[in-house]
Structure 1
Amino acid sequence: MDNANHITKKQLPPSQDFTFLKGEAMDYVQKHIGSEWTNFNPSDPGMTIVDQFCYALTELGYCTDFSVADILTGPDGKMEMEDQFYQPYEILTTAPYTVDDYKKYLIDGVDNIDNVTILCYSDNVFPFNKVYQVYLYIDPAITDPAEISGLCKSAYYLLNKSRNLGEIFNTPIALLPVDCWIDTKIVLEKDADPSTVLQELQTSIRSYIFSKVTQSGYNTLKQNGYTAEEIYDGPQLANGWILTYSLTDKKDTVQGIDLVPIIAAVNGVASVSGVQLYQNQVPVAVLQSQISEILAIDVMASFQNQKLSLNANGKELPADTFGALRSNMDHFSETLACINVTTRPKVPKSSFRDINSYYSIQNTFPHQYGIGDDTLEDASQPVQVAQARQLKGYLTLFDQILANQFSQLANVSQLFSFKNSLCGAPSDEETFYAVKDKYQQKHLEYPVPYKMFSPSYFYQSLYTVPHIKPLLKDNTAFNYSSGNESPAEQLEKSWFEYQQDPYNPYIFGLMKIMEEEKTNLDRRNNLLDHLLARHGESPKLIDAIIHDTVYTGDKRKDRIILKSLYLQNLGLLSYNRQKAYNFLAAKKIAATSDGNLEVSLPKISDSLFGAINENTTDFIFKSEQINKKEKLNQYDFNNFSALELKLNLLFGLKNSYKNFISAGLDNQKSNIENLFNTTIYKTIQKALWFSENRHGSLLLETVLLLKPLTFTLEIVKPNAVNQAYYTMNNLSFETVSNLNYILNATDETTLDTDLQNGYLLFSGTKYAVTAGNIATESLNDYVKTAASNYSFRITVSSGNEKITIASKVFKKSILLAFPDFIPSLQTPEFKKRLKQFLKLNLPFNVSYECLFLSTQELETFIPDYIYWYESLRYKDKLLPVQTASGDTATVQTTPEIVINPVAAALNLISSLTSILETRNGTH
């Protein structure tokens, strides 16, 4: 039977209920009109006006009831999301920060990594924050050393891509398998497949020792009851999400009794008995492994060597039953497959609603009013025409209010956008440009048409109201002709030109009365404060930090500009907030020529003259231009730390440098021929270098200065007979940090044995030590190990040996340098704001020092910094070059660029030491 469709009477919301609105209107009229209006019947013109206005209000009420998704959807059917909202995967995630974050990041980012163990070396021996040693659990099926080495290298590059400030990663190490067997008797259930049981048994035991981490899709996790906060906790992942609780630690000790429930839980196992373990073919009570090892219990080998026995249907299966099973057993497969790897929720469905288009209430009045399309324009009836126009003028006020309300609703996306609007009448601006060709758009006869600074009220013209022209001021301004048009053509052209004039008295006056500048700026600032608070940012703290940052000179406008820029970049700044730059892949800051670096400062071009006011046109701030200039992308975080990028953005550093450069050049216009090589020229060059290459500040992580150097490790046992003393020379940074860990983590008995045998053992490698006699100097600078009576110290063996890791340069995690000749950076207020900014944005365990360098200090510091910066990537790179000799082509190898990384680091350390010593620790 067909369903019967019928209309159901449903109570409308008050904003859409005509009867309710009219009742409210009449109550108001009767309360305030007194005896002036007594006829409330439908025949009264006043009642007709009330009816029409109430009907129009129901349309507005209907539109305000649209979903936010529909209101934000444009004519192209796409929802306006950019610079409106940050989706959960953009704003709830963060670049790897914790150990668990880095585990997720590696498992997702590098194929064939099943799990990860990370050690954090953080103690008082080194003067930096943290060093991480990563151990990779690589798919057991991969045994080729070259392939394993490639995976470790891939992991190393990936880790440095998301390295945090003051922290550094040693090259990851693949966990070394420790061969183990299991001796036990397993009885299978009836009809159980022995090969399947063995495979599942291998997987279960491996998962117990160190599980393979699985990834799940957003929808799957959501259906299982996880919240968005739990799902998005950690870095963005490309292949599905990893929940933190699933990151189990590696088991370094396993007893036979531990495996009984694991074996018994395998499908098809009826019983298990007599579990005995073998390590390196020797029976043991407990399997044991080091931090760099992984216990590898080989189930198939145990079965083939008749250690593990399978009993099926009362018979013991022979060892050669599964000859072809060996290759399949090597693969570490999980029973939980990732069926749905969708990493983000779907965007809500929406439909475009043409809210802005306005239909005048004058079109709905009865014919006898003469104000619709049939408006009286008969010159023979001047009184009637005047009366009709008088009524039209009265009603047009209501029309304008309603039309503006529709426009305000249609532009909610601009009202709550991170970007500042540039026009209060977007639909009129669109109409204005729609009839212009490309040349006309670039060569407008009007300056900045419809433009204003960040409007918060929106409006639209009423040119579509029937016969509105006679009511608009100066509507005859374009009533002139070249003499070739008919009166009708001239009238039509005049009306078109009037509408195309963005400064005609009607539209310009409308723009002026919509909102006063102070009200507008306060309202826009409040809206931006709301958006900041919605994203967990304190508006008051932002106000304090940006207090003296200048773009326009008007503090209210500058506040709006900076908050808008910050919100536009908040997604990336928030995600990467602790991230350092990637020294392995950052862009070059110096050109190369004939195998050498070009460390000369940038040349000054003519475009730098008169650049102070380049951000304004006809007194209107060019928000679009500054938005584009300050827009960050992920690649920027490859070249700079998030701290530097945020510092530049909120303090307007590049703008301060540009103003300094432009003002300095403009003051020298009369002496431009003699400007080259003068002090002011060189000062401007340095300011330009800071602006173009460093975003206004130079952040240097002291740990990176130590990375290319070599070290000496001295070990002593003070209370031993003859005071045992051992040395290790020319150790790399990675080696000495790993041995530092070994010394603190190893018990005294093991150290005694290893050192007496002439080595320290780390990750299967024996590092030779040399026994000797300790010098007569004091042992005060030696550090006692955590687990023994041994003490040790680490010194720099590179260079002239005057550099020590206890020097002033390494007292802080980071050094932040500025030139001291930019006036705006020398005020007490700037330094106060800078201190507050660093306190809020640096982790508590990252110490810092700010240096304001003079022109003379920068003269040597900048070249030293460039050499060192480039040395972290180039070192002694060789480039094949084709050369021709007669008819025969030969290949020779010549250096692309030759930089000694040790010398580069030592020079920069020396330069910094000199700078710090002159300040006597006062900064």
Structure 2
Amino acid sequence: MSELNEHITIPKNVASGDDLDYAFLRQKGQEYIEKLSGNIWTDYNEHDPGITVLEMLSYAITDLGARISMPIENILTPSGNTPIKDQFFAATQILPSKPVTEADYRKLFIDIEGVKNCWLKKYEKTVHVDCKNDLLSYDPADFEGLEEQEKKQFIINGLYKIVVDYDERVLEKANDKDEKIEAINQQIISTYHDNRNLCEDLVEVEEVKTHSIQVCASIELDPEVDEEKVHARVLRAIDTYFSPKLWFYTLQQQFEKGYSTDQIFEGPLLEHGFIDPNELENARLRTEIRLSDIVQLIMKIEGVKLIKDISISDCKNPGEDKDVWLVCVDEGKKPVRCDLSAFSYYKGVLPVNVNSKKVKEYIAELEAEEEAKQALAGLDNEIPVPAGEYLETGETTTIQNDFPETYGIGQVGLNSRASVARKAQAKQLKAYLLFFDQIFASYFAHLEKVKELLSVDNNAETTYFTQLVNDIKGFNDLVEDYPENDKLLTKKLLSKLDDSVTRKNQLLDHLLARFAEKFSQYSFLMKELYGNYADQTVVAAKQTFLSEYGEKSEIVDGKKKITNKGISNWRGSAFNYFNQEPENLWDTDNVAGAQKRIARLCGVRDFTRRNLSTSNVEIYNLEDIDGKTVYRWRIRNNEGEAVLSATVNYKAPRFAREEMYQSIVKVVETDPEIIEEAFLNRINDEAEVGNFEIQKAESGKYSFDVINLNADPDSTDRIIARQFLYHDTQDELKQAILDLIHFLRKEFGEEGMYMVEHILLRPDVTGDAGLKDQFMSVCTDNCESCEPIDPYSYRVTVVLPGWTYRFGNMDFRNFMEDLIRRELPAHVLARVCWIGEPKGWVDDDKNDMVQFEEAYKDFLLSKTKSGQKQDETKLNKLIKSLEQLNSIYPAGRLIDCDDEEDSLEGRIILGRTNIGNL
């Protein structure tokens, strides 16, 4: 067999078990001692103190090995026996996904009470194209005067209608059948929009049409059977064959059918249980009814002896052909048993009368039994997480208390008559063994923290741990300045070893790899942009990404409410625009799943739909002493207070922006711990702390500047920003610096995005009007190029603020554009625009971002109530705004290839510099 076809597997159990083998550990230890000191130590007998120490250490290692070998659920169980599922994603959180395929949507709608079955059908709407004038219309009559070669047409893709087969049992219980159907339809529409795919939309919901089939049969029964019960089962069998009933199953039942966990949880998680995918596939609308199938079904019913005669026919033409073996069903219709159907029963040669009232009672009993079974299907849909027991895996005790008492180092100690030299020897041995005690204490502390380090919500500040060893008699005689708690001890012993940022990155990379995710390219770019602060911001991005990876929900008023649409589960979803309150359309996290995922993958803190033009940054102009217009900048906090400002005038806004963002970088890369440590004691009045320089005014008040340590100390480039606020004490000054760092790291954010689905910009498809004045513009080049002409099907426009620090960097833009196209579904085509200026930098009527935001918000607020019928004015305003978007790019210059300058900053290199995209 070819080696390429051989399966290469990694063994699950790679432990040798040697850590539990005391004899093995002792032997290996003695071999090591012999190699290390064989020339000076020749006595390895059991009475030797060195061998005793070896034996005690070997025993302690077996204790550690035994704890590591405990059931994983015990190791991961926190104190207080909190369930370990709170630390990790449960199967129902991470394995299901939002609906993607037709089968997924069918499952979702069948889960609604009153829906027996349903099907998604493509809603076809033809758009006619005038290639001569680049116009579109639904009505071909609008372009009647054109030559055939000047016309084209296409069908908008991504539009659907839902065909529903209602459950008659539910409708029969309703007081008003039509009202109940309308309520079910509204729930279907609402459910669809809660789970809508990107660039898709629902046009209508309709009831499945029926095709009546006549079934006539003469059946002989066994003498002892109940003919009414047999007839009830015959009718049920035929009706189920015509229109199959889909059943819900428990998790255990699905396992018993042979399905694996990933197969069971594929698609959306349902309220009433699990649907067998094979049964779902077979429950499609029948295209033909076969007499042989009905014969087989009837013969399987207990009590049926033989079928004397049977026939099927189309009820539209009953009795035309008595020898029909197959009836074709009209496309898109459901076959039903018509009133002309007739059944007669015999026992021997004698005919049997069937009590129709009794038959209905039996049918009701059969349906009641089915409903009782279905009620249990949705009760247990979670894979149980093993219940662990908290066994204090981190508890430690000194090995010294296990030595023979003759050593005098245990709790009993030495005899009071022992000599001073003997007591000194005992103390020396205790001090020597304390080194090993502390190592074991550190190992046990790490084992205790595994549950935190491997949690998806890991917010631990450190990655190395140790703990106090405090059950040694006379401990204070051995160690001075031993910390009072585990945290201080960890900091004192391991702080120089613990590069917590690097180690946390490694831990997070391990957890991300389990989901086949990576941040490598993003990490590289952040080092280029943020220098020393890059690792910390990458850690924050990874932690946020992991914590939001799976779906989270809670029960509110007895109903499940999703609190976090998982980055994994909802990656292909669209936002819900249907029948929403204004707060769910603007200043909201009701956005496309791809938008949230892209934001998290590139470290955008705020992915919500909001006004991006409203910024904490202000660039303003003024006249200098020479009467020339110059520019300055300042940053305000969320309370409107200016917390950082320019110190010089700039000739152009772009120079002001560049230095402002340089100042932000200098602030955020300063570690708050450096500030805390510097202010532990009173500092000099003009000290440098990180990237800050302290100033003391003649009034005795303090302020600070942001400095560039790489600049010439005597140049004007050294001080790049200042906070024009003064503080009475150094404590107030320290807090002001820490507040500024926190604000710029955690709260300040100009970044965000809009993802506009073109399918939502279509004119009303339900009417007959042409509506050519409501279409998007197209370029057809006289029907010779610009394919595809269709501007609606599976198209999005991604709008981003092009003025921000990262979004203004061309390398980061290239990364973002590639990321957007990789993360969008493969069939969705994206146009990416980097536009505008913050509000106030230029006049609003010249600001693309301000104009677009206003048009987009008005459009969403109008569309949520109108559904298919668009507000023509608001639609046209948004289309005009979209089509006039202009991407902005950093200023650059063409260069001579023979230029001897080394720097490439600001250069436009032909063939390597992107100045636009689709």
What is the TM-score of this pair, normalised by structure 2? Answer: 0.67
How many Å separate the matches in 1 of 2:202 and 2:424?
A: 85
1:365-418 deviation per Cα after TM superposition (whole angstroms, max 9, x unaligned): 233433333457999975444433322221011001111111112221123223
- Structure 1 residue 510: Cα displacement: 0.7
Equivalent of residue 573 in structure 1, options 564, 567, 575: 567
What secondary structure is seen at the aligned counterpart in 1 of 2:427?
Answer: helix
The one-letter amino acid of 2:106's match is K
Partner in structure 1 of residue 427 of structure 2: 389
The one-letter amino acid of 1:835's match is E
Partner in structure 2 of residue 63 of structure 1: 67
Partner in structure 2 of residue 93 of structure 1: 96
Partner in structure 1 of residue 850 of structure 2: 859
**1:127, 1:805 within 8 Å by CA — same for their partners in 2?**
no
How many Å separate the matches in 2 of 1:845 and 1:903?
A: 30
Partner in structure 2 of residue 723 of structure 1: none
- Structure 1 residue 853: Cα displacement: 2.3
How many Å separate the matches in 2 of 1:697 and 1:851?
A: 10
- Structure 1 residue 824: Cα displacement: 1.4
Closer, same or farther: CA 18–918 of 1 in aligned 2, 3 Å = closer
**1:139, 1:332 within 8 Å by CA — same for their partners in 2?**
no
Partner in structure 2 of residue 118 of structure 1: 120
How many Å separate the matches in 2 of 1:464 and 1:587?
A: 63
Q: Determine if the alignment matches structure 1 residue 176 to structure 2 residue 209.
A: yes
Q: Determine if the alignment matches structure 1 residue 509 to structure 2 residue 509.
A: no
1:292-323 deviation per Cα after TM superposition (whole angstroms, max 9, x unaligned): 5321114xx446xxx3222234322346x323
Q: Determine if the alignment matches structure 1 residue 648 to structure 2 residue 599.
A: yes
The one-letter amino acid of 1:845's match is H
What secondary structure is seen at the aligned counterpart in 2 of 1:668?
Answer: strand
Partner in structure 2 of residue 238 of structure 1: 271
Q: Determine if the alignment matches structure 1 residue 817 to structure 2 residue 816.
A: no
Closer, same or farther: CA 561–823 of 1 in aligned 2, 3 Å = closer
How many Å separate the matches in 1 of 2:64 and 2:185?
A: 63
The one-letter amino acid of 1:282's match is P
Q: Determine if the alignment matches structure 1 residue 832 to structure 2 residue 836.
A: no
How many Å separate the matches in 2 of 1:900 and 1:121?
A: 18
How many Å separate the matches in 1 of 2:804 and 2:457?
A: 30
How many Å separate the matches in 1 of 2:395 and 2:183?
A: 61
How many Å separate the matches in 2 of 1:551 and 1:116?
A: 53
Alignment of 1:659-808 (within 5 A): 661=615, 664=618, 667-668=633-634, 696-706=752-762, 709-710=763-764, 733-734=765-766, 795-796=770-771
1:197-233 deviation per Cα after TM superposition (whole angstroms, max 9, x unaligned): 2222222222222311111111112123221122122
How many Å separate the matches in 1 of 2:598 and 2:22?
A: 55
Alignment of 1:358-507 (within 5 A): 358-375=396-413, 383-423=421-461, 452=462, 455=463, 457-474=464-481, 499=484, 503=488, 507=490
Closer, same or farther: CA 901–501 of 1 in aligned 2, 3 Å = same
Partner in structure 2 of residue 189 of structure 1: 222
Partner in structure 1 of residue 383 of structure 2: 345
1:834-874 deviation per Cα after TM superposition (whole angstroms, max 9, x unaligned): 22212321222111111222131123221211111112224
How many Å separate the matches in 2 of 1:538 and 1:402?
A: 35
Partner in structure 2 of residue 869 of structure 1: 860
Q: Determine if the alignment matches structure 1 residue 274 to structure 2 residue 310.
A: yes
Equivalent of residue 584 in structure 1, options 567, 571, 578: 578
How many Å separate the matches in 1 of 2:526 and 2:311?
A: 72
Partner in structure 1 of residue 36 of structure 2: 32
**2:213, 2:315 within 8 Å by CA — same for their partners in 1?**
yes
**1:96, 1:234 within 8 Å by CA — same for their partners in 2?**
yes
1:775-814 deviation per Cα after TM superposition (whole angstroms, max 9, x unaligned): xxxxxxxxxxxxxxxxxxx842566x88789989647611
- Structure 1 residue 334: Cα displacement: 9.6
What secondary structure is seen at the aligned counterpart in 1 of 2:346?
Answer: strand
How many Å separate the matches in 2 of 1:673 and 1:573?
A: 35
Closer, same or farther: CA 549–181 of 1 in aligned 2, 3 Å = farther
What secondary structure is seen at the aligned counterpart in 2 of 1:230?
Answer: helix
How many Å separate the matches in 2 of 1:94 and 1:463?
A: 51
How many Å separate the matches in 2 of 1:391 and 1:163?
A: 72
- Structure 1 residue 735: Cα displacement: 5.6
Closer, same or farther: CA 50–586 of 1 in aligned 2, 3 Å = farther
Equivalent of residue 167 in structure 1, options 179, 190, 200: 200
What secondary structure is seen at the aligned counterpart in 2 of 1:282?
Answer: coil
- Structure 1 residue 22: Cα displacement: 1.7
**2:523, 2:534 within 8 Å by CA — same for their partners in 1?**
no
Equivalent of residue 526 in structure 1, options 478, 482, 506: 506
Partner in structure 1 of residue 884 of structure 2: 914
How many Å separate the matches in 2 of 1:393 and 1:659?
A: 65
What is the aligned-residue identity percentage?
A: 21
Closer, same or farther: CA 59–814 of 1 in aligned 2, 3 Å = same
- Structure 1 residue 902: Cα displacement: 3.6
Partner in structure 2 of residue 606 of structure 1: none
- Range with bigger deviation, 285-294 or 134-143: 285-294
**1:808, 1:913 within 8 Å by CA — same for their partners in 2?**
no
How many Å separate the matches in 2 of 1:296 and 1:468?
A: 89
1:625-667 deviation per Cα after TM superposition (whole angstroms, max 9, x unaligned): xxxxxxxxxx95xx11111111221222237999995565994
Q: Determine if the alignment matches structure 1 residue 136 to structure 2 residue 164.
A: yes
How many Å separate the matches in 2 of 1:96 and 1:549?
A: 39
- Structure 1 residue 699: Cα displacement: 0.8
Q: Determine if the alignment matches structure 1 residue 903 to structure 2 residue 873.
A: yes
Partner in structure 1 of residue 286 of structure 2: 251
Closer, same or farther: CA 156–69 of 1 in aligned 2, 3 Å = same
Q: Determine if the alignment matches structure 1 residue 198 to structure 2 residue 231.
A: yes
What secondary structure is seen at the aligned counterpart in 2 of 1:653?
Answer: coil
The one-letter amino acid of 1:314's match is V
> Any stretches of 5+ residues in structure 2 without a counterpart?
1-15, 128-153, 551-565, 620-631, 644-651, 661-743, 781-788, 838-846, 890-914
How many Å separate the matches in 2 of 1:921 and 1:42?
A: 81
The one-letter amino acid of 1:511's match is L
What secondary structure is seen at the aligned counterpart in 2 of 1:233?
Answer: coil
> Any stretches of 5+ residues in structure 1 without a counterpart?
1-11, 424-451, 476-497, 592-598, 603-634, 711-732, 737-793, 877-898
Partner in structure 2 of residue 293 of structure 1: 333
How many Å separate the matches in 2 of 1:387 and 1:343?
A: 65
Partner in structure 1 of residue 557 of structure 2: none
When the two chains are superposed, the root-mean-square deviation of aligned CA atoms in Å is 4.1
- Structure 1 residue 44: Cα displacement: 2.5
Closer, same or farther: CA 152–695 of 1 in aligned 2, 3 Å = farther
**1:817, 1:852 within 8 Å by CA — same for their partners in 2?**
yes
How many Å separate the matches in 1 of 2:750 and 2:202?
A: 24
Q: Determine if the alignment matches structure 1 residue 560 to structure 2 residue 539.
A: yes
How many Å separate the matches in 2 of 1:190 and 1:551?
A: 89
What is the TM-score of this pair, normalised by structure 1? Answer: 0.67
**Aligned positions, number:** 688
**2:579, 2:865 within 8 Å by CA — same for their partners in 1?**
no
Closer, same or farther: CA 213–381 of 1 in aligned 2, 3 Å = same
How many Å separate the matches in 2 of 1:422 and 1:917?
A: 42
**2:848, 2:886 within 8 Å by CA — same for their partners in 1?**
no
Equivalent of residue 23 in structure 2, options 11, 19, 22: 19
Q: Determine if the alignment matches structure 1 residue 315 to structure 2 residue 350.
A: yes
**2:617, 2:635 within 8 Å by CA — same for their partners in 1?**
no
The one-letter amino acid of 1:88's match is A
